[in-house]
Structure 1
Amino acid sequence: MPPKKKVFNGYAMFMSETQKKLHNQGQNMSMSAMAEYCKKDWEQMSQQMKDKYKAKAKEMKLSSKIEKMTSVGENVDDVLSQNKKNDLQFSTMYSYIEELVRLDRDFLSKQTFIFIHVNSYVCEKENFFFPCEISMAEYSLHKGLIRRFHQLVGFDKKRTNAPPAPTADINAHAKANHRITTFEKLPNNYTDVLLKIIGFIIDREVDESVLNDPTLDMPPIFTAHNRNEVSSLSITNLSLFQLYDSAVEYASRDDFDKLLKVYHLDKLFKELKNASFWYKNQNSSDQAIPSVALASDYLNKDMSNTVNNVGCTFHERLELPHVCSNYYICKWIYIFSTHCCSFFNIKMIAGCHYNFDLSKTETPLEEIIQNLNVSEDDYFSNYKPEKKQPREFTASNFPTLGGASSTLPVESVWNKPETKVNMPRAKPNESHSFPPLGNVPHSIPGSSSQIPSSDWRKNACKGRGFFNPTK
């Protein structure tokens, strides 16, 4: 049902103005109550003042006739502009990924990617999403898991700009999913969390000045769709923007989009697997994974029996590691490795490509959690944040696709998992519980046997940058 038409007259303008003044003073009144509240003041008002309000109403009435509105009261031009912007971002994302996998074979095997998974405080009715757990990993086919980041985030209703009374819905969603409710006494220094995320992505220590650096060019971060949610990409994007909005004064959506770019891991997996398959089958017109939907099915497989003991301390103590963000990150690394490494003759290493042991890289927060008496009803009741010591980061350069870099990034040492010592390597004839590589080709009519060239470098909307291949 379309919304009621707005009334434009002098009295309505006066009521609206008075209502805003009362709201600023802490008094909230509906427009129906304002009609009685303002009646006496309006009757005692001079004709000159009434004429000013009538002129203002006439001006607003004329401007409203020019603007076209949707059935839910949104400006049509704004909706079309936003749709155009979304289409451009989507096209940019796909073009970036397609160009990325056209790197030389040796470079592609050493190319690093950042995977991210976010569990969120969710109130779908109010379209509210805010991160409660963030896990990221730097990954390459050649080295597997290089370094990782994990952070639990507390909930502050005021600082997160949460809508009125969403707590019950948020906790109901949490208990059905990740089990991190609003009652947890977790760190809520959102600026510090945001700077840690940026520092991990660019692999160096940063401060608040980085938020005002117009030359900052960060590579994209990748997340996968979850069949249990409408769009994990949108939820991750909205959650990170809400974190950015809570951490940065005068935050804008355009500034956030320039800073953090969340891309489809499903699309990356499809293109990387097809490029890997093509290197070994250059005379074939087949594709290993013909669609993004099929790639999503691979990434959504339940592998809790294969990838286990990778949950954070919080979820391990609840015996729910399969809902932890760490589990999703390790599962994606495992799937990428088992599907693509064989085409590059890369021998997978325990602790880097599979059989992950995250106990060697516990964060200070997790060490505190481990010493707490955590119960299902009252987590972190005694938690007190400790003052963290500064970490050392290595520098990196991230040239744009059309650029060049004379320096290669130094190998990272921050949060780098330790490889298990003296662990026997897998023999070629030894059976494993790896998922099938899925190398059965699927014929695509009209597909080319070569990876086509791209005019990406001519695209004015090219991506902001990507990782250098490591030595």
Structure 2
Amino acid sequence: KKTIKNGFYFFMLELREKEEAKGRKFSGLKDVVDVANPMWSEMTPEEREHYNKKASLAKGADEDGRHKFTSLGVSYATIDAEAREKEESINIMLQTIRNTVRSLDRKTTLLTHKFYLCHVNYFYKTERDFYSVAEIALSEFNLCDGLLKTLHFFVDPGKIPLGLRFEAKDWAEKTHGIPYDWNCGEKDYYKIYISIRNFLSKGTSANIPPIYTMPDSLNSNMCLSAVKSALTTLCEASSENTFQFRVYPFPQLFYEIRNKCAETDDKVSGGTLVPSVAIVESEIEKDVFSYAKDLGCPFHEERDLTIHCSLSIVTRWVYTICDHCCKHVGISLELGKHCPRDADVNWDYKYTRTAGQSAVEEPENNRAKHNDFMPTIIDHGKLREIREQQFLQEQESLRRAAELRLPRLMINAGAAGPSNGRRDVMTGRGTRKIPEETPWPISGRGKLL
């Protein structure tokens, strides 16, 4: 219900500001009403006039917004209404995620509740947020059993409009590598829609659970808008309701599950709580399982493009959340379900032992600099071994190249006195003595004496 902004409303705002300046606290305007109502009743019409004028001016401003338009002919009132609607939908979405996780019991239902992740690769996008789908993949998981099953499709984009083929080809070459004129994509959109619906609702007419994916990003092919557009396209092609699929941000779900797992029976944190969603999102973007083997489809595995494969991405997301959350609820990681098959699951003991030693040896101010909000169970050393070896080889090559370069020597011109066969040379941070070399005596056209 919209609040009526009359003279009494503006009087309450002014009264609340004055009282809060004195140290008094109000939980909302309802508490201010009990204080302001007796004072307003005792005020004379002349005293109320000041606040009634404020209400009239505010009402006039609202009326002006309805009659003012942008250069595109859209009223400012419409723009404000759309902004409020978008903000309200975001709040409802975040509250839904929060209520879903917090309603689960930490020892039972939280471990068995199923969640669904989705990723979409696309060829191009238009100004109206339409994404031409190239590949779509979904995964089902829970904390107890890890990755349960996946669903994967290549999608035929149809005829690409004139002027967008270069964009489709360029984006495909930069990311997923799927040719836009490839004939192996699924052309039956209704078949894809039915498969996704059955995957989410097990073939029943029950409510479809939310789908989680990463928010829009300019630096990668992670895009919540692409998932929404893909599902909308499938629904429209199948003549189905376009609002049946709910797409929510995966980092917010990760954040709620992670902190729920870290709680104890008395609601006090048994581990360190994650302070913000931004830290969780950063952990997902690190993508520590990006080079794990046999996670993608055969097409991307053969072309060494697994890092961009939608099937691999939704699988790596499951492994990432299990890596960070299973530790706090006493679940042992199982290879191939909670983590890649080549992961080292003995990291828990190593981390606890080294963390205890460093806590004793390091000063307090140094420990505060470390981010210990997201300890993991898996030793990612095996997964990073190739990258570390490449890094060491690059460092060795740079070191050897630096040794081959002639040093830039700055001769200390201020030195005076008889020559002693040595000279002062500025090298980096100091001065050192080097022996002077006596030139060979030559005569005439270079003949030796």
TM-score tier by shorter-chain length is 0.5 to 0.7
Mean Cα displacement is larger for which, 314-323 or 223-232? 223-232
Q: Give the Cα–Cα distance (whole angstroms) in 2 for the partners of residues 263 and 324 of structure 1.
A: 21
Task: Give the number of the structure with larger relative contact order, counting CA–CA contacts within 8 Å between residues 6 or more apart.
Answer: 1
Q: Which residue of 2 aligns with 1:145?
A: 147
Q: Give the Cα–Cα distance (whole angstroms) in 2 for the partners of residues 69 and 285 of structure 1.
A: 55
Residues 262 and 270, structure 2, Cα contact 8 Å, conserved in 1: no
Q: Which residue of 2 aligns with 1:248?
A: 238
Work out which of the residue numbers 92, 101, 110 in structure 2 matches 1:108. 110
Work out which of the residue numbers 165, 172, 175 in structure 1 matches 2:163. 165
Residues 233 and 262, structure 1, Cα contact 8 Å, conserved in 2: yes
Q: CA deviation at 1:83?
A: 2.5
Q: Measured at CA, do residues 90 and 305 of structure 1 come closer, stay the same or move farther in structure 2, by a change above 3 Å?
A: closer
Q: CA deviation at 1:179?
A: 1.1
Residues 130 and 242, structure 1, Cα contact 8 Å, conserved in 2: no
Structure with bigger gyration radius: 2
Within 5 Å, give how 1:421-436 maps onto structure 2.
none
Q: Measured at CA, do residues 356 and 138 of structure 1 come closer, stay the same or move farther in structure 2, by a change above 3 Å?
A: farther
Q: Measured at CA, do residues 69 and 123 of structure 1 come closer, stay the same or move farther in structure 2, by a change above 3 Å?
A: same
**Partner deviation per Cα, 1:240-264 (whole Å, 9 max, x = no partner):** 223333x134x7xxx422x000001
Q: Which residue of 2 aligns with 1:457?
A: none
**Partner deviation per Cα, 1:374-408 (whole Å, 9 max, x = no partner):** xxxxxxxxxxxxxxxxxxxxxxxxxxxxxxxxxxx
Q: Which residue of 1 aligns with 2:317?
A: 332
Q: Measured at CA, do residues 282 and 156 of structure 1 come closer, stay the same or move farther in structure 2, by a change above 3 Å?
A: same
Name the amino acid aligned to 1:279. T
Residues 131 and 243, structure 1, Cα contact 8 Å, conserved in 2: no
Q: CA deviation at 1:85?
A: 2.8
Name the amino acid aligned to 1:440. D
CA-based RMSD: 3.3
Q: Give the Cα–Cα distance (whole angstroms) in 2 for the partners of residues 66 and 95 of structure 1.
A: 31
Q: Give the Cα–Cα distance (whole angstroms) in 2 for the partners of residues 223 and 68 of structure 1.
A: 38
Name the amino acid aligned to 2:242. F
Q: Which residue of 2 aligns with 1:346?
A: 331
SS at match of 2:136: strand
Q: Give the Cα–Cα distance (whole angstroms) in 2 for the partners of residues 203 and 79 of structure 1.
A: 40
Identity %: 26
Name the amino acid aligned to 1:155. P
Work out which of the residue numbers 198, 208, 229 in structure 2 matches 1:218. 208
Residues 309 and 316, structure 1, Cα contact 8 Å, conserved in 2: yes
Structure 2 residue runs of 5 or longer lacking an equivalent are 1-64, 356-369, 375-449
Within 5 Å, give how 1:399-418 maps onto structure 2.
none
Name the amino acid aligned to 1:128. F
Q: CA deviation at 1:101?
A: 1.8
Q: CA deviation at 1:111?
A: 1.0
Q: Measured at CA, do residues 66 and 85 of structure 1 come closer, stay the same or move farther in structure 2, by a change above 3 Å?
A: closer
**Partner deviation per Cα, 1:417-448 (whole Å, 9 max, x = no partner):** xxxxxxx995577769xxx9x99359xxxxxx
Q: Measured at CA, do residues 178 and 295 of structure 1 come closer, stay the same or move farther in structure 2, by a change above 3 Å?
A: same
Q: Give the Cα–Cα distance (whole angstroms) in 1 for the partners of residues 179 and 114 of structure 2.
A: 34
Q: Measured at CA, do residues 110 and 148 of structure 1 come closer, stay the same or move farther in structure 2, by a change above 3 Å?
A: same
Q: Measured at CA, do residues 237 and 332 of structure 1 come closer, stay the same or move farther in structure 2, by a change above 3 Å?
A: same
Name the amino acid aligned to 2:299. F
SS at match of 2:234: helix
Is 1:80 matched up with 2:80? yes
Q: Measured at CA, do residues 304 and 429 of structure 1 come closer, stay the same or move farther in structure 2, by a change above 3 Å?
A: closer
Q: CA deviation at 1:201?
A: 0.7
Q: Give the Cα–Cα distance (whole angstroms) in 2 for the partners of residues 320 and 283 of structure 1.
A: 44
Work out which of the residue numbers 297, 311, 317 in structure 1 matches 2:296. 311
Residues 126 and 163, structure 1, Cα contact 8 Å, conserved in 2: no
Q: Measured at CA, do residues 324 and 428 of structure 1 come closer, stay the same or move farther in structure 2, by a change above 3 Å?
A: closer
Residues 139 and 148, structure 2, Cα contact 8 Å, conserved in 1: yes
Q: Which residue of 1 aligns with 2:176?
A: 178
Q: CA deviation at 1:73?
A: 3.6
Task: Show structure 1 runs of 4+ deviating over 6 A.
Answer: 428-432
Instruction: Give the structure with the larger strand fraction.
Output: 2
Work out which of the residue numbers 238, 262, 265 in structure 2 matches 1:277. 262
Q: Measured at CA, do residues 230 and 87 of structure 1 come closer, stay the same or move farther in structure 2, by a change above 3 Å?
A: farther
Q: CA deviation at 1:302?
A: 3.2
Is 1:92 matched up with 2:78? no
Name the amino acid aligned to 1:183. D
Instruction: Give the structure with the larger helix fraction.
Output: 2
Q: Give the Cα–Cα distance (whole angstroms) in 2 for the partners of residues 231 and 316 of structure 1.
A: 20
Structure 1 residue runs of 5 or longer lacking an equivalent are 1-64, 206-214, 358-423, 443-471
Q: Give the Cα–Cα distance (whole angstroms) in 2 for the partners of residues 128 and 225 of structure 1.
A: 16
Is 1:440 matched up with 2:372? yes
Q: Which residue of 2 aligns with 1:187?
A: 186
Q: Give the Cα–Cα distance (whole angstroms) in 2 for the partners of residues 427 and 110 of structure 1.
A: 24
Q: Which residue of 2 aligns with 1:379?
A: none
The TM-score, its normalising length taken from structure 1, stands at: 0.55
Q: Give the Cα–Cα distance (whole angstroms) in 1 for the partners of residues 266 and 178 of structure 2.
A: 47
